[in-house]
Amino acid sequence: MIKQKFKKSKPSLLKSFHYAFQGIKVNLLTERNLAIHVFIMLLVIICGFIFKISITEWLICILLFGFVITLELMNTAIETAIDICKPEINPKAKLAKDTSAGAVLVVAIVAVVVGIIIFGPKIINVICR
């Protein structure tokens, strides 16, 4: 018997963007950690304007925002896929989920350290005036 391959039609570029934004929206509404990261990102943006950080400092902050948010979204995708494939408790599934969460934590810690390096001297300068 010959197997027929059914081609799924690809969504239009506009539809692809719509799906991507839907994913971000749902995650913002349902994932506590993503909401926390976005809140901190907004605080850093406000502080960036207050302390008039340089273009280079803005670029570093923007890159770190992207890394943290992207990894948080990927963490959710990985955890969701694992939950679908392995709804029962499984040590390897747990390891995959914990590792994914650990990746987010590492990038978040790096972002905090970089934030301290960028904003620490500026805050100290204001306090010591």
Q: The domain that contains 35 carries what CATH number?
A: 1.10.287.3610
Instruction: Check if the beta carbon of residue 100 is closer than 8 Å to that of residue 79.
Output: yes
Residue 79, domain member (yes or no): yes
pTM of the model: 0.84
Which range of residues forms the domain containing residue 56?
27-127
Q: How far apart are CA 79 and CA 85, in angstroms?
A: 10
Position 1 pLDDT exceeds 60:
no
pLDDT tens string 33-75: 999 999 999 999 999 999 999 999 999 999 999 999 999 999 9
The yes-or-no answer on residue 72 being catalytic is yes
Distances (CA, A) of 112 to 29, 83, 96, 106, 123: 24, 30, 25, 10, 15
Residue 105, domain member (yes or no): yes
Helices (H), 2-90: 13-30, 32-50, 55-85
Q: One of 31, 57, 72, 79 is an active-site residue; which one?
A: 72
Residue 22, domain member (yes or no): no
Residue 1, domain member (yes or no): no
Q: How many domains does the chain have?
A: 1
Residue 5, domain member (yes or no): no
Residue 18, domain member (yes or no): no
Integer-rounded Cα Rg, in Å, for the chain is 20
pLDDT value of position 2: 58
Residue 21, domain member (yes or no): no
Distances (CA, A) of 101 to 34, 63, 83: 12, 19, 14
Residue 81, domain member (yes or no): yes
| Sign of the torsion angle spanned by Cα atoms 63, 19, 37, 39 | positive
